[in-house]
Amino acid sequence: MAVGTVAVVETFVVRVWLPDRPGALGQVASRIGALRGDVVGIDILERGGGRAVDELVVSLPDLELVDLLVAEIMQVDGVAVEDVRRVANDRPDSGLVALEMAAELAEAPLEGRLDLLCDRLAVLLDGDWVAALDAAAAVVVTGHGAAPDVVWLAAFLDGSRHLDDAAQAAGAPGDLAWGWLGGIDAVSGRDLVVVVGRSGRPFHTRERQQLGLLCRTTTALLGVIALA
């Protein structure tokens, strides 16, 4: 490398399915290292049934190494690659993003909290669209992006009201995740639910849990003030 030349680093998020056994992740990391890649972040999205779904943040010295990266990872016995996407080199850790969201929600004025929740969820969960619905009236109160048919969506969510995060993961469409804010709007009596949709990558347990916890946080923030 010439003196003064700065190495160009590209950052990718790689979702992998792994056998839930000791050493499997280390073998994947070794394959990445063989291509001069660096694992700079790990999120465990889901575990169960002898499998784990991990999201690895990987820095590579060359954009053209992506196909080879996927091929190398899949050489590890029992490992599959669900998705690879390029992200900004300064992409923050998803756990910090969720904490920052909670802080922003607490600091925001009451009337802006629901809008803020939808906007930030679109970023945190890479959502194609986010909608806060009045489920009983089948009306979008606020949102981000273009949601599908709201009447169908409200009917589906009302019928799935009993599902917790684990049941969502087991039985819900992979392209939808949601959290209820029921009863928080004491003034209007709206029964609110926030739903996120995206195509191409299914939602996993950790993402559904993040959504549920942030909806609980918003429920408490809106409810305490509205009832004061």
pLDDT tens, position by position, 70-83: 999 999 999 999 99
Domain boundaries, the chain: 10-87, 94-227
pLDDT level of residue 93 (50, 70, 90 thresholds): confident
Q: What is the rounded CA–CA span in Å between residue 180 and residue 158?
A: 10
Q: Which helix (DSSP H) or strand (DSSP E) does residue 216 occupy?
A: helix 205-227
Residue 105: the pLDDT is: 93
Q: Could you tell me the CA-to-CA distances from 61 to 3, 34, 79, 89 in Å, in that order?
A: 17, 12, 23, 12
Q: Are 134 and 141 in contact (CB under 8 A)?
A: yes
Q: Using the predicted structure, report yes or no on whether residue 227 has a pLDDT greater than 50.
A: no
CATH number assigned to the domain covering 10-87: 3.30.70.260
Angle, vertex CA 27, rays to CA 26 and CA 29, nearest 5: 60
Q: Using the predicted structure, report yes or no on whether residue 184 has a pLDDT greater than 50.
A: no
Give percent of the chain with pLDDT exceeding 90.
53
Do the domains 10-87 and 94-227 sit in the same CATH topology, yes or no? no
Q: Using the predicted structure, report yes or no on whether residue 59 has a pLDDT greater than 90.
A: yes
pLDDT level of residue 224 (50, 70, 90 thresholds): very low
Residue 88: the pLDDT is: 85
Residue 226: the pLDDT is: 37
Per-residue tokens: 109: 């004025």
Q: Could you tell me the CA-to-CA distances from 206 to 107, 152, 174, 209 in Å, in that order?
A: 25, 26, 13, 5
Closest by CA position to 178, among listed 199, 190, 163: 163
Residue 26: the pLDDT is: 94
Q: What share of the chain is helix, strand, coil (3-state, %, to 5)?
A: 40, 30, 30
- Whole-model pTM: value is 0.81
Q: Using the predicted structure, report yes or no on whether residue 207 has a pLDDT greater than 70.
A: yes
- CATH fold of 94-227 reads Beta-Lactamase (3.30.450)
